[in-house]
Amino acid sequence: MIQPHGSDKLNPLYVADAAKRAALTKEAQKLPSIVISSAAAGNAVMLASGYFNPLTGFMTLADALSVAKTMTTTSGLFWPTPVVNVVKDITPIKGAKRIALRDPNVEGNPILAIQDVTSIDVATEDQMKLMTEKVFRTLDMNHPGVSAFNTVGTTFIAGPIQVLSYSYFATEFPETFRTAVEMRDLIKKNGWDNGNVVAFQTRNPMHRAHEELVKMAMERLHCKGAIIHMLLGKLKKGDIPADVRDACIRKMAELYFKPNTVEITGYGFDMLYAGPREAVLHAVFRQNMGATHLIVGRDHAGVGDYYGPFDAQTIFHNEVPKNALKIQIFEADNTAFSKELGKVIMMREAPEGHKKESFVALSGTKVREMLSKGEALPPEFARPEVAKILMGYYQSL
């Protein structure tokens, strides 16, 4: 099986030993504590799960700046985005060297992790701008990732963490949330560990084009299996909730994929909408979970028109150092159903003379409009069973 990023074996930061976890939970009740941001909580869950291997905790401001500028930490580890715990006010933990981190996403703010504080630094306005521009490629506060990064504070609390829970992900999505350790075990159990395994990132329900794209990648890469790996954390307003996406994707896999060729799983993280940089982060943690390939399509992890349609592919050629990652990228074009050919194809692979209007393409706005009115989507665009679940959701709004 493919090696994790940056080490021989995974180093998940969740305290798996029940007795040790109970002792740490007891200790945490007496420690100075602080409610962290949703982004930091997501980082903690990814560290707990082994997805952010080989990191041992939250980065220093110096590391965050280095990662933003060069995609490497100050020690030389390749990493594409800052993994930080940023707050507005450190008054509750001032002077403490060991603190409890409280979960902002669970009622009552239970303790999520314990952090040993190695440094606390306040970023200047210029440093925040630099990190924002390098990671998100824009300073526009209308960009949801830029807004999230710049409204949680400027004080960076660095240091290793021990994580005591997986936040709400394990309880709200028990059938879907899986750690990188569990993913590697699943790949072995399925007998996929001596062949190629492709991962598909999604924050949306899968339409026909997505389904066929996964099948194309599996066929062309001679994969033993595919992992449809959905984001379960916070999204922007208007995105479809995780439970609805989960139901749609499971129904599609059950009816339209061969048995034992696909796994539907998810991970606990808030979407960054950082386009190219986030695509690289997706590759890092898919390598950690055991995938050999990641599908990177048009406008991967993007939002609005902040990024070029294929910037998330070209970054791997132009900015990611050779051999920085072991995972490989399957570069996909827009896929759509061709009425001329009677099947889903990548648009760039359309034969000469193929008419553009032959493709069945619907805008997100048009899809939402049709579903909320109870109108059936074209079967070439969406599987009827999937459309039915979506229709139920939109009509309930």
Q: Residue 58: beta bridge partners?
A: 159
Active site residues: 203-204
> CA-to-CA distance for 71 and 276, rounded, in angstroms?
12
Tokens of 391: 């229709």
User: What is the sign of the dihedral through the CA atoms of 329, 227, 304 and 297?
Assistant: positive
Identity at 175, one-letter amino acid code: E
Q: Decide: residue 374, CB within 10 A, 0-12 exposed, 13-18 middle, 19+ buried.
A: exposed
Calculate the alpha carbon distances from 137 to 68, 278, 364 in Å: 11, 11, 24
The secondary structure of residue 324, as a DSSP letter, is S
Rounded Cα distance between 173 and 105, Å, is 14
Task: With CA atoms as reference, report the closest residue to 300 among 322, 276, 324, 281.
Answer: 276
Q: Which of 233, 226, 236 is nearest to 258 (CA)?
A: 226
Write out the H or E segment, with its range, that includes residue 200: strand 196-202
Transcribe 281-292 into DSSP letters: HHHHHHHHHT-S
Amino acid letter for position 378 = P
Which neighbouring-strand residues pair with 156? 86, 121
- HSE-up of 349 (CA within 13 Å, CB side)? 15
Q: Which residue is it, tokens 């350790």?
A: 181
Beta strand segments in 311-358, E: 328-331, 335-338, 343-346
Give the rounded distance of the alpha carbon of 282 from its chain centre: 6
Q: Determine contact, residues 164/113, Cβ cutoff 8 Å.
A: yes
